[in-house]
Every structure is written in structure tokens, then in C-alpha cells.
């Protein structure tokens, strides 16, 4: 049996949690299809007390184990609940250091490389936890070659022990677009550029506002989705600028509609282990402008226009160019579809299961 660490179900979802959910869902689909890759394997999700996931998986049962919660549950209760001959699969950066029979997914080294984004206590815990997980686990998985190198340099995990699995973006197509959102958000009258805000420093959202400030009165609006307070980012009157539309939190159905109607999507991040939003945009036929940083070029390939994440003038110039050149937008849409097709959650699930097979096969020898 492969026991899946279900601690992530107990918290508000993040990008890392999206990876875990989509991977489990795709493994469930492989079981449903009787795919040879899952032949002879069984899976069970281990949950802390009081956690009742909204999602259910028809072929992967869930079990509540232990008495504690949080880190204490993960470090103490979980390893004791996993049967001796089973393999533990931890998908979200953490896992019990007492479990040697474990495959763990470490997504990046942001706690070391971007320390300003995390509390001191959180950084210290990861400095202890991740090297130990890298040492005791049978295999470490990560989501890009960039992250593989970062984990080695930041945490001392041997690169020979780390394998790369992909992520996907096609989940955005599962839910029909809420086309009424465009008018509801006041975006039906003019072209608009889409960005998704975040208060995390490494997301570098300030650059987008700086670029718009450089343009003065651009021939497009800027739609900013996300729950961050616009006053945190306000610069040069951008909070009250009529060209900037602060949308707040949007649903997946609304986000799909926003992608599909935007002239482009801007992704200014300074640090990403992978970066799912550009793939979402590409799947929706939205041209992508992306930061030339971290894993982003590895993921986007030649399907994006790149800018220096510290150069607002360069981004402003690119925005004007994309807004003006319909042929360029069409080319980016075509390349985006081709690039997005190279990534999928099914592929991620197959790679994860193959890694588990490798560990189980090694242990049986």
C-alpha cells in the first residue's frame, strides 16, 4: 500500500496543495482506467483528526489516524499509523523525519532563497526539516530542474537523489467559463491586461503597477485579480487610477473567463519552483508575458515574452507591443497551446507512481 500524507487537506489551499490534489485525482483516474502503471498498487489517504476533505476519490479511501494535529500529527502520529510494509507519499514540502520508507516532494528552496517572504520561525523549521527529509527519504521529487539545483544548494540534498516531475494547468478547463464576469467586473468596454495579485514579496506584483505608472494613459485597462489589499501596492495614484480594476477574489470559473478575454497575462514573479498560472493562461489561449527568473523560462519555453523582473520600463514597452500587434498575440496563443500540451496532471501522476514503484521494487530486492 502507498499511504498518502493528507495533512494538506487541513489548511487553506495553496499552489503546493493544488499539486497534491491534482496528483491524487489523476492517480485515481489511472486506477479507474485500470492503467498498467497502477497495477498491483493500492492507495490510502491518511488524515488528521477532525479533517473532512470536500473532495472524495472513488478509488482512494481515506482514514483518520492519530490524536494530534499539525506538525505534531505529521511527525508523531502519521509515521506510526503507516503499516510497516507500506510506502508513505508526502506531496507538500513536509513529511515525518521518522519515516525512511518515504517519497517526499520538495517544491523549491524559497525559505532560503526568498527569506523575506516567511517568518523567522518558519524559515528555521524548514532549515532543519528539509535536509533531514532529504537524508531519510528513499527518493525526493521536485517540480523543475531549477528547483532540483536549488534544493541541492540550499539544503545539501544530493542531486542524485532528486528526480523532476511536471505540473499541469489543464484543470482550469474543467469548469465552464463564467462569461458574465467580464461585464460584471466592468471589463467589457476596453481591452485589458490580466494580473493576479499577491502580498508575497517574491511574487513581485509591484512591478506591474510601476509599469502601468510609466505608461500614464495606456490603451487598455489592467484587471487585477486576487485578495490582496490594493493600498499595500498603491503607487503614483495607481490605487484610484481608472485604468486599474481591482477585482478581489475570483472563482475558477471567473478566472477562466478573465484569461480567455484578456489581451495578455502578466507573471512578474521573482521566484517559482514551477509556476502554474502561465500554464493556466496558455491553456485558455491567453498570451503570456513572464519574468525572466527562476524556473519560469524552463516552464514557459518559447511560448512567452520575457522581461527583466526589475525593469518596469521594459515591461511597459512589452505591454504596449502586445496590445498593438494582433499577429504577435496570435503567435503567442498558438505557441502557448503547444507548450501547455507538454504538461499535464496525468503525466505528473505517472511520474509520481513510477517513483513509488522504483522505491518499492528496490525495497523488495
Tell me the pLDDT of the chain averaged across its residues.
93
Rounded CA-CA distance 231/210 in Å is: 14
What confidence score (pLDDT) does residue 243 get? 80
pTM of the complete model:
0.92
Q: Are residues 153 and 266 in the same domain?
A: no
Q: What is the pLDDT of residues 135-159, one digit of tens each?
A: 999 999 999 999 999 999 999 999 9
Percent of the chain with pLDDT over 90: 83
Nearest alpha carbon to residue 323 among 276, 262, 365: 262
Instruction: Give the cell for residue 205.
Output: 506584483
pLDDT at 349 over 60: yes
Residue-number span of the structural domain to which 158 is assigned: 2-168+345-364
What confidence score (pLDDT) does residue 227 get? 64
Q: Which residue(s) pair with 223 in the sheet?
A: 194, 245
Name the domain count of the chain.
2
Q: What is the pLDDT of residues 230-267, one digit of tens each?
A: 554 444 444 456 788 889 889 999 999 999 999 999 99
Percent of the chain with pLDDT over 70: 95
Q: Are residues 121 and 225 in the same domain?
A: no
Instruction: Give the cell for residue 74.
Output: 505529521
How long is the chain?
A: 365
Q: Are residues 209 and 60 in the same domain?
A: no
Q: Are residues 154 and 270 in the same domain?
A: no
Residue 60's alpha-carbon distances to 3, 6, 26, 89, 274, in angstroms, are 10, 12, 11, 13, 27
From the CB of residue 233, how many other CB atoms can be counted at a distance below 10 Å? Answer: 20
What confidence score (pLDDT) does residue 229 get? 53
The CATH number of whichever domain residue 245 belongs to comes to: 3.40.50.2000
Q: Are residues 160 and 195 in the same domain?
A: no
Amino acid at each position: 500500500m502507498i499511504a498518502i500524507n493528507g495533512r494538506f487537506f487541513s489548511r487553506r489551499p495553496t499552489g503546493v496543495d493544488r499539486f497534491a490534489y491534482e496528483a491524487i485525482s489523476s492517480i485515481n483516474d489511472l486506477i479507474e482506467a485500470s492503467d498498467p502503471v497502477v497495477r498491483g498498487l493500492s492507495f490510502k489517504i491518511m488524515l488528521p483528526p477532525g479533517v473532512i476533505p470536500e473532495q472524495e476519490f472513488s478509488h482512494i479511501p481515506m482514514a483518520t489516524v492519530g490524536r494530534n494535529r499539525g506538525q505534531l500529527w505529521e511527525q508523531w502520529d502519521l509515521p506510526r499509523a503507516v503499516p510497516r510494509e507500506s510506502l508513505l507519499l508526502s506531496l507538500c514540502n513536509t513529511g515525518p523525519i521518522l519515516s525512511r520508507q518515504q517519497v517526499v516532494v520538495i517544491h523549491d528552496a524559497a525559505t532560503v532563497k526568498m527569506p523575506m517572504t516567511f517568518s523567522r520561525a518558519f524559515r528555521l523549521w524548514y532549515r532543519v526539516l528539509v535536509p533531514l527529509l532529504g537524508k531519510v527519504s528513499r527518493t525526493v521529487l521536485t517540480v523543475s530542474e531549477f528547483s532540483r539545483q536549488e534544493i541541492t544548494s540550499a539544503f545539501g540534498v544530493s542531486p542524485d537523489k532528486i528526480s523532476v516531475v511536471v505540473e499541469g494547468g489543464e484543470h482550469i478547463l474543467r469548469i465552464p467559463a463564467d462569461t458574465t464576469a467580464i461585464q460584471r467586473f466592468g471589463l467589457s468596454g476596453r481591452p485589458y491586461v490580466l494580473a493576479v495579485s499577491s502580498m508575497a514579496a517574491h511574487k513581485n506584483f509591484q512591478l506591474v503597477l510601476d509599469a502601468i505608472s510609466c505608461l500614464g494613459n495606456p490603451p487598455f485597462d489592467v484587471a487585477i485579480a486576487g485578495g490582496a489589499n490594493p493600498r499595500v501596492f498603491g503607487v503614483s495614484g495607481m490605487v484610484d487610477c481608472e485604468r486599474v480594476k481591482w477585482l478581489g477574489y475570483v472563482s475558477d470559473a471567473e478566472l477562466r473567463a478573465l484569461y480567455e478575454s484578456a489581451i495578455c497575462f502578466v507573471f512578474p514573479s521573482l521566484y517559482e519552483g514551477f509556476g502554474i498560472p502561465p500554464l493556466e493562461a496558455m491553456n485558455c489561449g491567453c498570451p503570456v508575458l513572464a519574468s525572466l527568473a527562476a524556473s519560469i523560462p524552463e516552464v514557459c519555453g518559447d511560448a512567452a515574452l520575457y522581461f527583466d523582473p526589475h525593469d518596469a520600463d521594459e515591461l511597459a514597452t512589452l505591454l504596449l507591443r502586445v496590445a498593438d500587434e494582433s499577429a504577435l498575440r496570435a503567435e503567442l496563443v498558438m505557441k502557448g497551446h503547444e507548450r501547455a500540451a507538454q504538461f499535464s496532471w496525468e503525466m505528473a501522476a505517472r511520474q509520481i507512481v513510477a517513483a513509488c514503484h522504483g522505491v518499492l521494487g528496490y525495497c523488495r530486492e
